[in-house]
Amino acid sequence: MTKPILEIKELKTSFKAYNGLLPAVDGVSLTVNEGEIVGVVGESGCGKSVTAQSILRLFDERKEVKYEGEISYGGVNLLSLKAKQMSSIRGNDISMIFQDPLTSLNPVYPIGEQIVEAMLAHQRISKKQAMQRAIELLQLTGIPSPQERYHQYPHQLSGGMRQRVMIAIALACRPKLLIADEPTTALDVTIQAQIMSLLARLNKQLNMSILLITHDLGIVAETCHKVVVMYLGQVVETASVQELFQSPRHPYTQALLQAMPRIDSERGKPLTVIEGSLPTLNQLPQGCRFVSRCSYATEKCHSASPILKPVEGVQALVRCWNADLIKIESRSQGQQARSGGEDHVIQSVQS
């Protein structure tokens, strides 16, 4: 359970702009252990997707980006692999599903073919066998009557089903690690719930690690074992789920938790609002990147950039000079509210 399968150390991904490099990701370190679901959360544009795609090196290195740091998978640094070797890892050892199931499937080929394509790219099996397996996969992901669906085109499926097909493609070669980049943002809550439970089930059944990128703390709380919080291209906090929700240490994490209207919180209580501006990627402040919006900021925060380090009393890693000083927020309001409405909800559905 604790054997790491993916370790990222100080990853830096910079986009080539016409007058220099634009570091969209600068300082991401995280570890995914075998069988673990790791959540990555953060604001839009903070570099979650770039991180995910950097792992598979999906950007064009000749023109688009420059990678630095280390991504080690099973002891091999992916960033040092040749293009061919990288191809053999993609979809095979590590696979990925994207945010938008509506556009992530090629509209002109039947879905079955697209699943089979992944298998044929990596495995030596006959077309027939591949087809058989594809149907099994469709079944596994909970698509009714997979035989017929196999020959259907993406537009003939609903959003939820398409996302299942995406998952089936990702699972085609039984990867050890699945990277899911906001797999449910385009879907309705009810469908989201189905997909999330499917992922959780696959994680258990296949002992497959998942790197789950999302902006929804609710999903993190319900599905993940570990959480990585990102802000402006950096990891600012990593912690186990319980720890993070119980005692968030980074001011940004705290802000996130408090700004969210919750279904289980006291109604009408004002949300916490933080002001301040977000710096641009090409004009980053010298010190901490959160400094412009942080209410705890000190002189030091303005001048020196903090590093990701363990904090006293918890297992979390936090990128904050004041992590030790910041008062631990009491456990989320939900605890009190939960006894109210929510239990009832559960009951009513199950009844």
Partner 1 sequence: MAIYVLKRLLALVPTLFIMSVIVFIIIYLIPGDPARVMLGDGADEATIQQVREQMGLNQPVLPQYINWISGALQGNFGESYFLGKSVMAAIGEHAGPTFSLAVLALLLSLCTAIPLGIAAAKHQGGLADKLLTAFSLLGMAIPGFLLSLFLVLLFAVKLKWLPVSGYASLQDGVWSYLKHLILPAVSLSPLMGAIIARMVRSSMLEVMNQSYVKTARAKGVSEHRVIYKHVLRNALIPIITVTGGAFGTLLAGAAVIETVFNIPGLGQLLVHSVARRDYAVIQGIVLFIAFLYVAVNLIVDLLYVVADPRVRLE
Partner 2 sequence: MLFNPSNRRKPLLQVENLHKSYWSKAKNSFKKARVRAIRDVSFTIFAGETYGLVGESGCGKSTLGKTLLRLTEQDSGSILYEGNDLAKLSSKQLRHYRKELQMVFQDPYSSLNPRIVVGEALEEPLHVHRIGTPQERTERAMDMLAAVGLKREHYYSLPHQLSGGQRQRIGLARALIVHPKLVVCDEPVSALDVIIQAQIIQLLKRLQHDMNLTYLFISHDISVVRHISDRIGVMYLGRLVEEGDTESLFQQPTHPYTKLLLSAVPVPDPFAVKKEWQQEGELPSPLEKIAGCSFHTRCPYATERCRLEEPEPKRVNEEHWAACHYA
Partner 3 sequence: MVKRQQAEAINLYKLARREQLLQQAFTNTRLLWGSLLAILLLVVALFAPWLSTYKPLEVDIVNRLAGPSTQHLFGTDNFGRDVFSRVLHGLRNSVQVGFIASLLASAIGLVVGLYAAMYRWLDQLLMRIMDALFAFPAILLAIAIMAALGASMLNLMMCLAIVFIPSVARIVRSSAVVAKQQAYIEAQRAIGSSDTRMIWQHIMPNTLPALIVQGSFVFAESIIVEAALSFLGAGIPAPTPSLGNQLSEGKMFIFQSWWMTLFPGIALIVAVLAVYLLGDGFRDLLDPHTAKKGHAKALYKRLSGLNQAGKEGTAS
Ligand X SMILES: Nc1ncnc2c1ncn2[C@@H]1O[C@H](COP(=O)(O)OP(=O)(O)OP(=O)(O)O)[C@@H](O)[C@H]1O
Residue 50 or 71: the one with the smaller Cβ distance to Mg ion is 50
What is the DSSP secondary structure assignment for residue 273, as one 8-state letter?
-
Which region, judged by CB under 8 A, interacts with partner 3, from 10-18, 97-105, 192-200, 314-322? 10-18
| CB of residue 322 to partner 2, shortest distance in Å | 19
- CA atoms within 13 A of residue 203's CA, in its CB half-sphere: 23
Size of the site for ligand X (CB under 6 A): 13
Burial of residue 167, with CB atoms counted within 10 A of its CB: 0-12 exposed, 13-18 middle, 19 or more buried: buried
For 297, the token pair is 């900021």
Q: Which of 47, 69, 146, 306 binds ligand X (CB under 6 A)?
A: 47
| CB of residue 28 to Mg ion, shortest distance in Å | 14
| CB of residue 97 to partner 1, shortest distance in Å | 8
d(CA 20, CA 280): 14
Beta strands in 138-290 (DSSP E): 177-181, 209-213, 226-231, 234-240
d(CA 350, CA 327): 40
> Per CB under 8 A, which of residues 76..95 are in contact with partner 1?
87-92, 95
> Per CB under 8 A, which of residues 259..318 are in contact with partner 1?
none
Contact between 23 and ligand X by CB under 6 A: the answer reads no
Contacts with ligand X, 261-300, as mask; x by CB under 6 A: --------------------x-------------------
Give, in order, the Cα–Cα distances in Å from 169 to each of 75, 104, 178. 26, 11, 11
Q: Which of 28, 40, 36 is nearest to 216 (CA)?
A: 40
How would you classify the pairing of strands 226-231 and 234-240? antiparallel
Contact between 108 and partner 1 by CB under 8 A: the answer reads yes
Contacts with ligand X, 179-218, as mask; x by CB under 6 A: ------------------------------------x---
- CA atoms within 13 A of residue 312's CA, in its CB half-sphere: 8
DSSP-derived 3-state class of residue 339: coil
346 binds, among ligand X, Mg ion, partner 3, none (CB under 5 to 8 A by kind): none
Q: Which of 83, 84, 124, 275 binds partner 3 (CB under 8 A)?
A: 275
Contact predicate 229/41, CB 8 Å: yes
Size of the site for partner 3 (CB under 8 A): 20
How would you classify the pairing of strands 65-73 and 4-17? antiparallel
| Binding footprint of partner 2 on the chain (CB under 8 A) | 43-44, 155, 158, 160-161, 188-194, 196-197, 215-222, 241-242, 245, 255-264, 267-268, 270-275, 278, 332, 334-335, 338, 340-346, 348-350
| CB of residue 21 to partner 2, shortest distance in Å | 23
Which residues are near partner 1 by CB under 8 A?
A: 53, 56, 58, 63, 87-92, 95-96, 98-100, 103-109, 117-118, 121-122, 153, 155, 166, 169, 172
